[in-house]
Structure 1
Amino acid sequence: MTMPLLQTRALTRRFPGVVALANVDFAADGGEVHAVCGANGAGKSTLMNVLSGTILPSSGSVSVAGQEVSFASPADARAAGVSIVYQEFSSIPELTVADNIYLGREFHGPLHTVDRRAAVRAAGVLLERHGIALDANAMVGSLGVADRQLVELARALSTDARILILDEPTAVLSIAEQEKLFGVIRSLREKGLLVLYISHRLEEIFEIADRVSVMRDGALVATRAKADLTETELVRLMTGREVSAPHPPEPIPAGSRTVLTLSGLATDGSAVELRQGEILGLAGLVGAGRTSIAHRIVGLRPRSGFTAALDGAPLPDDPARVLEAGVVYMTEDRKRDGIFGPLAITSNATAAALKRFSSAGFLRLRRERAAAGEMLRGLRLVAASLDTPIASLSGGNQQKVLFARALMTAPRVLICDEPTRGVDVGAKEEIYGVLRRLAGEGVAIIVISSELNEVLALSHRIAVVRDGRITATMDNAGLDEHSLTVAATGVALRSAQG
């Protein structure tokens, strides 16, 4: 029997009030893509942080190629051939690809000056060896999202990694960009590397993985060959229960009045109207301008070329006044624009609604905490305490707190930009339920999502965005992913013009 390249025995990690890893016996081989799945708070991030040297285990052992190892730091892990690529980019836009790859490990000349030519040569060899099509001299700030992801990958590989951990690597990539990344991952597998692939997107797992390990409540509950799994079985293993397929939204009540009117956005000159209780999906390719439209609606960017009206009156240009008017934007980039990392969960959840919990200039902490707790219980937040800094939560649980923040304001119009990014399948179902409940209560909702099946599952109507304009608005009835993709790429339009 071949010895696993990576193995853990009875690996355990305890935090105050919670056991994040419980006696995990895990094994993975070189030359495979091994997916690690689980709901938010299942222990995936903790396991990867132990394997990459970010945190120490409380007990148990880790072995690489049969040798027991102990990582006191990420540098120790890299020295043993274990590298991790996190979901959020850490590259510096003002530096070249080569400079980023060897950042902190620069080449030096005879006078101890930085030898950039040596870095470019080494980077060129590295990129060619792994089939990564990047120019080592290119400025990272000039690259697209997919190529920036490849820079992160190249940096990890530059340490002679044998084990590569990829954390939600396709979170911001288009379908075409995903395929580019998958091509590189397959090449790494053929070279004998072990790729540990962390993702909530089940369709990706079935496309790229060889085996799948499922974690739940800090324990490893199953390891299966992909061929022996169905999507339904994988979801059941992840959640410990059956998760039903999303059902179409309930019809909008007859007589629902128009709440939000956008004039000048549609290429045909018509106004785009959003009614009470309606969910309007914005579909389009990555870079089509969907987020730009949302930013312009809420005043984060100038509304050049179009106007927005709430109940027939012009919507203010100032974001704070837009929020006071009841139009709430939920950001797609929680790390940069959403969370206050050092602050507690409660403070993050209530940040946009502090007036609700203030009296005579004082914040009523008990009321604030009770409201935050009730909201977050409904979203099934996994955390040891509401006093925990939000930065210590998994990405999915951070997203739940941001969702709670938006709902705390009792919005009239809610704009959700990638509302389930980094959220597991069970939590997705819960968030879909929350959005449908809000629509049923009369809230008008705009959903922006790169997952077409999500747009189809949630929306009454779908607006297709291309080059920052709305090129078509369609009722959801009878639509499918193929027809939406055709509309988003402009194939039908170009054919008609040809």
Structure 2
Amino acid sequence: MPVLEVSNLSKRYSGVAALSDVSLSATAGEIHAIVGANGAGKSTLMNLISGTVSPSSGSISLDGKNVRFANPQAAQSMGIATVYQEFSLVPQLSVARNVFLGREPRNRFGLIDPARLMADTRALLSKYKIELDPAAEVESLSVAQQQMVEIARALTYASRVLILDEPTAVLSLREQENLFSIMRRLRDDNLLILFVSHRLEEILNIADRITVFRDGRKIETLAAAGSSISEIVNRMTGRERALPKQPAPVQENAESYTIEYKSSGDPQTIRIRCGEIVGIAGLVGAGRTGFARSLAGLSGRNGAVRIERDGKTLSLKSPRQAMREGVVYLTEDRKRDGIFSGLDLVANATAAALPDLAQGGIRNRRAERDRAASMLERLHLVAASLSLPISKLSGGNQQKVVMARALLTHPKLLICDEPTRGVDVGGKAEIHDILRGLAAQGTAVLVISSEIEELLSLSHRILTMRDRRFVAEMPARQTSEKDILMAASGAAPAKETS
């Protein structure tokens, strides 16, 4: 008997169908992957199963018994735990407090028992080989470390069903492998894991079965063994997978940016030509985001940076000054730094371009809507209305809105930190095409990505960072994933940039 079964499940918002007549079943001791393009219905299905929203019609059953959850706490009480793509941590509290939030061990006076809390957290982290300090404040952790706190918290529940929504999006390869080891142990302990991911390579590596969604409907469930990426993409998109495109050649006489960066050791100098896409690789903690934030006028403790464009030093004392110089940063953490969750799509897309869209210093709402609509159409946004709050969109579609905001500023040097995090295969191709198009028009583009395959297919050159220094520079067309990983991990001799 399936541990989880949904029958004819549908969800509508204001008459718009987000999920239509979906039926599927999953068994204990299984890793069941859920895949589909942004807006295909994956997140809606997970929200229904986890009790975040209620279905418009259809049913959910656990162990053959129909259930209906009033809220996520009700689902948790029946053994369904969820790790969401967007974090729900309390930044000011410790790792231990976040892991056991609301369920902390108490002493005989009813007060939190700090010693036992720390001991229980250390035991949990040790059991699953999660390298975190229980006493560390969450706000001091990297995005990847915060993701591991979310996963650790889910493991504290006596769960029969564990939902993982894009858990590897911000993890290094080593952390991904550790997570996969955890998932396999949980599966062997007879847990059902519902695994949502856009990374099809890892799905084929870890999943037992795969269910494909498109346009709010279930398309097919197939065995992972024997399936191919092209086969899955064809079902997701309804069309044949296109081959990756090559970036346009860079003009020999193109202007260039000279970047002097100092974070540890002696200053380093790198150059990027207008019309060039340069990828930045490295393991989590290598210093890539610190470098990117420095370029955008967010230096703080991340390091010192100076940029020249053909001999002219640019002023980068603040993000506003950086944007005036044409240096635009696309953040990796859209929830914390990228979106205005209570505002609609137009406001989010045009927030950085309002001075250009105003007339005589007065906001031009029509111009804002027209420009936002045009750019979001170009990025193939899936949304029922531009008046929707951005918080109502899937993570991938939120990322497209943040990308639209960056593009509407007409950047001269665009720094993209994980630009396709949480974006489906089709959406990735669209964003890649946008970046290639910008480069072809003369924009210099820096791309930070944890997906080495993405860097290899998108970039002209790839710079690799380790310990907050650039240690290797390689032409993308003559480089392999192994070359980059060897340089990033220190297993190969460093080939430092000048």
Q: Structure 1 residues 367-376 or 83-92, which shifts more?
A: 83-92
Kindly indicate whether the alpha-carbon contact (under 8 Å) linking 1:123 and 1:136 is maintained by their aligned counterparts in 2.
Answer: no
- What's the counterpart of residue 309 of structure 2? 310
- The Cα of 1:189 is off from its aligned counterpart by 0.3
**Selected match of 1:139 from 114, 136, 143:** 136
Q: Residues 261 and 71 (structure 1 numbering): CA distance in 2 closer, same or farther, change over 3 Å?
A: same
Kindly indicate whether the alpha-carbon contact (under 8 Å) linking 1:93 and 1:139 is maintained by their aligned counterparts in 2.
Answer: no
Q: Residues 468 and 137 (structure 1 numbering): CA distance in 2 closer, same or farther, change over 3 Å?
A: closer
Deviations 1:316-350 (A, max 9, x none): 12221110111111111100100000000000000
TM-score, reference length from structure 1: 0.93
Q: Residues 346 and 203 (structure 1 numbering): CA distance in 2 closer, same or farther, change over 3 Å?
A: same
SS in 2 for 1:164: strand
Q: Residues 322 and 394 (structure 1 numbering): CA distance in 2 closer, same or farther, change over 3 Å?
A: same
Q: Residues 175 and 371 (structure 1 numbering): CA distance in 2 closer, same or farther, change over 3 Å?
A: same
1:187 aligns with 2:185: yes
Distance 1:186 1:369 in 2: 48
Distance 1:483 1:114 in 2: 49
- The Cα of 1:98 is off from its aligned counterpart by 4.1
Distance 1:300 1:97 in 2: 26
- What's the counterpart of residue 301 of structure 1? 299
SS in 1 for 2:233: helix
Distance 1:282 1:236 in 2: 30
- What's the counterpart of residue 465 of structure 2? 465
Q: Structure 1 residues 454-463 or 48-57, which shifts more?
A: 454-463
Distance 1:133 1:372 in 2: 42
- What's the counterpart of residue 114 of structure 1? 112
Q: Structure 1 residues 408-417 or 80-89, which shifts more?
A: 80-89
- The Cα of 1:471 is off from its aligned counterpart by 2.2
SS in 2 for 1:11: strand
Distance 1:185 1:97 in 2: 21
Kindly indicate whether the alpha-carbon contact (under 8 Å) linking 2:46 and 2:163 is maintained by their aligned counterparts in 1.
Answer: yes
Q: Residues 4 and 73 (structure 1 numbering): CA distance in 2 closer, same or farther, change over 3 Å?
A: same
Q: Residues 178 and 389 (structure 1 numbering): CA distance in 2 closer, same or farther, change over 3 Å?
A: same
Q: Residues 168 and 181 (structure 1 numbering): CA distance in 2 closer, same or farther, change over 3 Å?
A: same
Kindly indicate whether the alpha-carbon contact (under 8 Å) linking 1:131 and 1:187 is maintained by their aligned counterparts in 2.
Answer: no
Deviations 1:100-129 (A, max 9, x none): 33211234444333344554565566667x
1:261 aligns with 2:258: yes
Distance 2:416 2:131 in 1: 34
Q: Residues 252 and 124 (structure 1 numbering): CA distance in 2 closer, same or farther, change over 3 Å?
A: closer
What amino acid is the match of 2:389? P
What amino acid is the match of 2:366? R
- The Cα of 1:45 is off from its aligned counterpart by 0.5
- The Cα of 1:377 is off from its aligned counterpart by 0.6
Gaps of 5+ in 1: none
Q: Residues 68 and 445 (structure 1 numbering): CA distance in 2 closer, same or farther, change over 3 Å?
A: same
Could you say what the CA RMSD is over the residues aligned between the two structures, in angstroms?
Answer: 2.4
- What's the counterpart of residue 275 of structure 2? 277
Deviations 1:220-241 (A, max 9, x none): 1110110141110001111111
**Selected match of 1:16 from 14, 17, 29:** 14
Distance 1:458 1:444 in 2: 13
- The Cα of 1:161 is off from its aligned counterpart by 0.8
What amino acid is the match of 1:26? L
Kindly indicate whether the alpha-carbon contact (under 8 Å) linking 1:279 and 1:460 is maintained by their aligned counterparts in 2.
Answer: yes
Distance 1:135 1:443 in 2: 40
SS in 2 for 1:477: helix
Distance 1:432 1:56 in 2: 36
Distance 1:283 1:125 in 2: 33
The number of equivalent residue pairs is: 492
Kindly indicate whether the alpha-carbon contact (under 8 Å) linking 2:295 and 2:305 is maintained by their aligned counterparts in 1.
Answer: no
What amino acid is the match of 1:183? S
Distance 1:76 1:183 in 2: 29
Alignment of 1:88-127 (within 5 A): 88-92=86-90, 94-117=92-115, 119=117
Q: Structure 1 residues 165-174 or 262-271, which shifts more?
A: 262-271
- What's the counterpart of residue 388 of structure 1? 388
- What's the counterpart of residue 427 of structure 2? 427
Kindly indicate whether the alpha-carbon contact (under 8 Å) linking 1:213 and 1:224 is maintained by their aligned counterparts in 2.
Answer: yes
Q: Structure 1 residues 145-154 or 379-388, which shifts more?
A: 145-154
Kindly indicate whether the alpha-carbon contact (under 8 Å) linking 1:328 and 1:414 is maintained by their aligned counterparts in 2.
Answer: yes
TM-score, reference length from structure 2: 0.93
What amino acid is the match of 2:396? G
- What's the counterpart of residue 369 of structure 1? 369
Distance 1:324 1:126 in 2: 48
Distance 1:332 1:145 in 2: 9
- What's the counterpart of residue 292 of structure 1? 290
Deviations 1:124-165 (A, max 9, x none): 66667x645568954354767666444323322323110000
- The Cα of 1:453 is off from its aligned counterpart by 0.9
- The Cα of 1:90 is off from its aligned counterpart by 2.9
Kindly indicate whether the alpha-carbon contact (under 8 Å) linking 2:275 and 2:444 is maintained by their aligned counterparts in 1.
Answer: yes
What amino acid is the match of 1:325? E
Deviations 1:246-270 (A, max 9, x none): 1321211232122x11135598977
Q: Residues 190 and 380 (structure 1 numbering): CA distance in 2 closer, same or farther, change over 3 Å?
A: same
Gaps of 5+ in 2: none
Q: Structure 1 residues 312-321 or 422-431, which shifts more?
A: 312-321
Kindly indicate whether the alpha-carbon contact (under 8 Å) linking 2:147 and 2:170 is maintained by their aligned counterparts in 1.
Answer: no
- What's the counterpart of residue 206 of structure 1? 204
**Selected match of 1:27 from 25, 39, 54:** 25
What amino acid is the match of 1:261? T
